[in-house]
Structure 1
Amino acid sequence: MLEPWRTGKVIKTEDITALTRRFWIQVPELEVFDFKPGQFVTLDLPIHEQKNKRWRSYSIASAPDGTNVFELVIVLLDGGAGTHYLFNEVSIGTEIMLRGPQGKFVLPETITEDLYFICTGTGIAPFRSMVQFLHKHKLPHQSLHLIFGCRKFGDGLYVDELKQLEKDEPGFYFHPCYSREEEVGPGAHKGYVHPVYEALTDMGKKPAKFYLCGWKNMIDEAKYRILQMGYDKKAIHLELYG
């Protein structure tokens, strides 16, 4: 059943990189905004007369916490009407029409295999939600690898938080990958995300499930490589951006 449109209110924003901003949105009419980690909300922004040209969907970046507040992390797109509005017209107190939660990009009921969360840029949002949720509720899982790709150190999202979570959550491993840095420190990788999961799965020798979130090019290549390693397409779950 589709959730009704509701009024959300921006209660806080914070720039996380030069072009990426965190938005905390409260839904005053609800005591609790409940959702499953990995789900998204659709915003109806006043940027066009046609409804479907006003709608923009974003994965929720926070874990459900029993309140009516959730977090989005959004990158400013060159020429993007939706993000231009969010970055230039929205401030504390701005009301936004929203619908959600929606989506089936969620964790399995029981985690019986290693999980690989593979993402680029703000595609990290649903995985941050999932990992925080698993940690908070001490849910059992196998090895859990979050492989996050971006260009430079300055583009990293939630890096310090996830490095700390790696220390606090047994069986959770964070692998930041930087495609345009010459040197990276311990625990980080130079280049793209693909060689990292190939090495970790020992080129398809370990049972696993793969969750992919980010730009289409990355997802297409990851899908191809994972199938080439011998995994079934049912082992691949994806959420496309853009």
Structure 2
Amino acid sequence: MLDQWYKGQVTRIVQETHNTRRFWIQIPEKECFDFKAGQFVTLDLPIHEQKNKRWRSYSIASPPDGTNTIELVIVFLEGGAGTNYLFNQVTEGSELTLKGPLGHFTLPEQLDKDLFFICTGTGIAPFRSMAQYIKAHDLPHPPIHLIYGCRQQCDLLYASEMCQLEQELNDFHYIPTLSREDDLWTGRKGYVHLIYEELARKQPAHFFLCGWKNMIDEAKQRILALGYDRHDIHQELYG
């Protein structure tokens, strides 16, 4: 069953930012597409003869909700064959081949330590899934800090939803951080690293990192330098 591929149907597409789209995919042969918050699926796109050059993996952005529909949020990569196909060939009603769920980037069994969700760009996808899952199941949880780095305010994904979640989910802290913003932005400026360094006061914590390799590499070094153990760090690499 490890390599079972499914036919998925794209039921909805929404342009979320200038270069990011949300894709809803239904898997008709499954009554319920069962996955853990934080896992991903792999798409097999008709863009190359070789299998491994056709495969593209994306974190599931929606929480497990007992249905057979999942949401992916995908950023257009200049010159990227995969996103070029998804943005220019795929429309509502298109069929996609996918396998999953895959991956071990999931919530710890015991939610007994602070959770730092640190991400850039579409790296927010697994954390949106996790936070909405915690809320939907009313799970007792420690403080959750979602530290989300983008260039500009227009790049933030799920911004109003995360602000609302901050109101509704006890001890959930949404901290968008912009590296290139004008004076109208009243939130945090700079990069994500200074924020978790400021918030992580040696309390026991899990650090979940999702985004581009440079951010993850730097974050790992800095978290270890704070005195945490490498087992406290969980990562999902993009690109």
TM bucket (normalised to shorter chain) is: over 0.9
Alignment partner, residue 225 of structure 1: 222
Alignment partner, residue 84 of structure 1: 84
Letter in 2 for 1:96: L
Letter in 2 for 1:14: V
* Matched-pair contact (CA < 8 Å) for 1:64–1:133: yes
- In the TM superposition, residue 183 of structure 1 has moved relative to its aligned partner by 3.0
Separation of aligned partners in 2, 1:2 and 1:170: 38
Alignment partner, residue 192 of structure 2: 193
Aligned residues: 239
- In the TM superposition, residue 122 of structure 1 has moved relative to its aligned partner by 0.3
Alignment of 1:1-242 (within 5 A): 2-183=2-183, 185=185, 188-202=187-201, 205-242=202-239
3-state DSSP of counterpart to 1:16: strand
Give the TM-score, by structure 2 length.
Answer: 0.98
Q: Over residues 28-59 of structure 1, what are the superposed CA-to-partner deviations in whole Å (9 max), with x where a residue is unaligned?
A: 11111110000000000000011111000000
Separation of aligned partners in 1, 2:43 and 2:12: 17
* RMSD between superposed Cα atoms in Å: 1.0
Separation of aligned partners in 1, 2:81 and 2:217: 26
Letter in 1 for 2:89: E
Separation of aligned partners in 2, 1:224 and 1:217: 11
Separation of aligned partners in 2, 1:2 and 1:191: 42
C-alpha spacing 1:184/1:143, structure 2 compared with 1 (3 Å)? farther
Separation of aligned partners in 2, 1:157 and 1:17: 8
Separation of aligned partners in 2, 1:198 and 1:64: 31
3-state DSSP of counterpart to 2:17: coil
Separation of aligned partners in 1, 2:35 and 2:103: 10
- In the TM superposition, residue 182 of structure 1 has moved relative to its aligned partner by 3.1
Separation of aligned partners in 2, 1:97 and 1:161: 29
The answer for unaligned runs of 5 or more in structure 1 is none
- In the TM superposition, residue 206 of structure 1 has moved relative to its aligned partner by 1.6
Letter in 2 for 1:199: E
C-alpha spacing 1:136/1:184, structure 2 compared with 1 (3 Å)? farther
Q: Over residues 158-216 of structure 1, what are the superposed CA-to-partner deviations in whole Å (9 max), with x where a residue is unaligned?
A: 01100100000001000000000133655x210100010011113xx221110000000
Separation of aligned partners in 2, 1:149 and 1:185: 14
The answer for unaligned runs of 5 or more in structure 2 is none
* Matched-pair contact (CA < 8 Å) for 1:184–1:190: no
- Structure 1 residue ranges (4+ consecutive) displaced by more than 6 angstroms after TM superposition: none
* Matched-pair contact (CA < 8 Å) for 1:3–1:101: no
3-state DSSP of counterpart to 1:82: helix
Separation of aligned partners in 2, 1:214 and 1:78: 17
- In the TM superposition, residue 110 of structure 1 has moved relative to its aligned partner by 1.3
Separation of aligned partners in 2, 1:212 and 1:156: 17
Separation of aligned partners in 2, 1:184 and 1:96: 41
* Matched-pair contact (CA < 8 Å) for 1:148–1:177: yes
Separation of aligned partners in 1, 2:235 and 2:37: 14
Separation of aligned partners in 2, 1:183 and 1:222: 27
